[in-house]
Amino acid sequence: MSTTNVRSTEKLKKIKYAFPFSYKKGSYSNLMIKFGTPLILLLLWEFLSVRGFISTTVLPAPSVIGTTFLDLLLTGEIFVHVGTSFLRIIQGFVIGGSLGVIVGILTGLNKKFEQAISLITGLLRPIPMMAWVPVLILWMGIDEASKITLIIIASFWPTLINVVDGIKNTDQKYLEVAQILEKKKTTLILRVILPSAFPSIFTGLRLGMDMAWRSVVGAELIAASSGIGYMISYARELSQTDVMLAGVLCIGIIGLLLDVVLKKIQAHVIKWNVNYFK
């Protein structure tokens, strides 16, 4: 081994010794860093609430919110509302995500189709989701149709954009190799373009699920008789801040779990793409 390599190895050992946290993935220290910061913030919040620096009517202590959350779990009330919201999300997301993937593939592969819908997408995409709520209520009433349609719209756009972006950013080297091997267009699409776009497609679906969850809660806050958004809105009318924040906590937990599930599916489908998970 050359003198330069020996020196480089010795320097690397010194760096690892000085910064051990950077080289022990999944170690105890990394877990402490990951969960320590939220824990410190919660303890500070609890301390300020107990000492009276924060008004409990405006922002109850974490212990109060946690107790309320457990009560809602034990009584089963929160499961009823979450189940209603989740059913709406699944129905809307399946339709909206599927349409986003299909239209995105057509847009990414066909320039004429992209030109045909460019003006429509350019006009409709910037419209905020909440702006659709009164329009959909006027057209469809306050029944399930308006809420599911809002979820379809919300999950459609991020999926569409990411699918198109993934197809258009296919590595040119792959396309050149396929042309040299004289592969059919169908083979080129199924074996080269779509697999290359899978990471972007899954990113779009994850963003679509995120937007779907946000939109259903927003719709339920305005017009609903059940759902997690309705529970929060009703608690606000009764000045039950702890119930409101327990509902917000529930939204965050479910959103995190849904994202984890989609990540697991993504990791399984595109496990061949080593660079994507580095």
**79-106 average pLDDT score:** 91
Q: What is the CATH number of the domain that holds 108?
A: 1.10.3720.10
**108-122 average pLDDT score:** 89
d(Cα 210, Cα 158) in Å, to the nearest integer? 10
Mean of the per-residue pLDDT values of the chain? 81
194 in any annotated domain = yes
Output the pLDDT for position 157.
93
36 in any annotated domain = no
> Do 1 and 75 fall within a single domain?
no
* Domain interval for residue 25: 1-31
d(Cα 257, Cα 243) in Å, to the nearest integer? 21
> Do 232 and 99 fall within a single domain?
yes
Q: What does residue 75 show for φ and ψ, rounded to 5 degrees?
A: -75, -20
Say which residue the tokens 């309320």 belong to. Answer: 68
Say which residue the tokens 């040299």 belong to. Answer: 180
Q: How sure is the predictor about 15, in pLDDT bands with cuts at 50, 70 and 90?
A: very low
173 compared with 40, residue with greater pLDDT: 40
**pLDDT for 180-199, tens place per residue?**
766 677 777 777 778 888 88
**pLDDT for 123-174, tens place per residue?**
998 888 888 888 888 888 878 888 889 999 999 999 999 999 988 887 777 6
Q: What does residue 19 show for φ and ψ, rounded to 5 degrees?
A: -125, 70
Residue 221 predicted with pLDDT over 80: no
Number of domains in the chain: 2
pLDDT above 70 covers a percentage of the chain that reads: 83
Which two three-digit tokens encode residue 24? 């022990």
256 in any annotated domain = yes
> Do 27 and 75 fall within a single domain?
no
DSSP state of 240: -
- The one-letter amino acid code at 176 reads E
Closest CA to 222 of 147, 149, 140: 147
Which two three-digit tokens encode residue 257? 């779990």
220 in any annotated domain = yes
